[in-house]
Amino acid sequence: MTTETAAVPAGGAGMGHGAARRRELIRAQSARSLRRRHLTGRGAVGLCVVAVAISLTPLVALVAYTTSRGIHALSVDFFTKIPTPQGIPGGGISNAIVGSLIIVGLAAAMAVPVGIASALFLLERRGRIAGAIRFTADVLTGVPSIAIGIFAYAVLVEPLAHFSALAGSFALAVLMLPVIIRSSESAMRAVPRTEWEAGLALGVRRGRVVRSIVLRGALAGIVTGNLLAVARAVGETAPLLFTTGNQLFNLSPLQPTGAVPLTIFSDGTSPFPADQQVAWGAAFVLLLFVLVLSVIARLVAGRLNRQAR
C-alpha cells in the first residue's frame, strides 16, 4: 500500500512537469510566430507605401510641372480676351472656356437622362436585352475616343456640312454614356432590395418606389458617377478635332466653337513661345477644373451618404 501510494504522486509530478514544459514550448513558439507575423506585416505595409509613392509620383510630377509652367499665364485678360493671331502675346481663352461649357453642358444633358434610364432598365430587367445593353456599355467604355469622333463626324458634321458644338457634344455624350450607365447601375444595386420590396408590398406605385426609394438611396453614387463622367469628357481632345472645328467665339450650339482642349492642342504645337505659354495656362486651368470637379464629387457623395443614414 505504501509503495503504490508513493508512486502516484511521483507520476503526478512527472505529468505536471511535462504539461509545464509543453506550455512553455507553446509560449515560445507563439512568441516566435508573433514576431514573425509582426515583421511580415511591417514588410507588407512598407511595400504598400512604396507602391503608393510610385503610383503617386507621375500625378504629383504632372501637377507640379503643369502648375509651374501654366500659373504664370493666368491674368484677367487670359480669362476675358479672345485669342490673338499666332505669335502675338496678350491673347486669352475666353472663347475656349465658353465653348467647353456649352459642349460639356449639352453632352451632360444628352447622356445623364439616357444613362440613368438605362441603368433603371438594367436593374429591373433580366434576359438577353439587358445582357446585350450591359455588354455594349462595357465594350463602349474601351472604344478609343478618336473612333467616336469619326463616328460623330459621319453622323452630324458631314450631313450638316459644317462643324458645330452640337456635334462635339454628341461625341462626348457617347463617351460619357457607358460610364454613367455602369456607375448608376452599381449605385442602384447597392440599395437594399428589401426596401424596394417593402414599398411595393405597401401598394405604392412602381414609379414612386423608384423615385422615393431607389433613386434617393443611390443618389450619392449616381452624382459621383455623373461628375466623374463629366470630368473625363471635359478633357477629351480627339472627338473635338473632328466635330467642333476652329477657335471661334460662338454661343450657338449649331456653329463651330472653340474648346480648352483644342486650344491646348493648337497652341501647344505652335513654334511661338507666346502661344505655348497660352497652352500651358489652358492646361493648368483644365487640370485645376478636373481636380476641383473630382473633389466636389467626393464631398457631395459623402454628404449625401450622411443624409441617407
Least Cα distance to 83 among 101, 63, 98 occurs for 98
Residue-by-residue pLDDT tens, the chain, 309 positions: 444 444 445 555 556 677 777 777 777 777 777 788 888 888 889 999 999 999 999 989 988 999 999 898 888 888 888 888 877 887 788 888 999 999 999 999 999 999 998 888 888 777 788 888 888 888 888 888 899 999 999 999 988 888 888 999 999 999 999 999 988 888 888 887 777 777 777 777 777 777 777 777 788 888 888 888 888 888 888 899 899 877 677 788 888 888 899 889 888 888 888 888 999 999 999 998 888 888 887 787 777 667 656
Distances in Å between the Cα of 179 and the Cα atoms of 112, 113, 156, 207 are 10, 13, 23, 24
pTM for the predicted model, two decimal places = 0.78
Contact 133, 121 (CB under 8 A): yes
Tell me how far CA of residue 300 lies from CA of 141, 219, 233, 270, 305, in angstroms: 25, 10, 20, 40, 8
Separation CA 265–CA 301 (nearest Å)? 33
Maximum Cα interatomic distance, the chain, rounded to a whole number of Å: 120
Cell of 51: 507602391
Closest CA to 102 of 260, 267, 221: 260
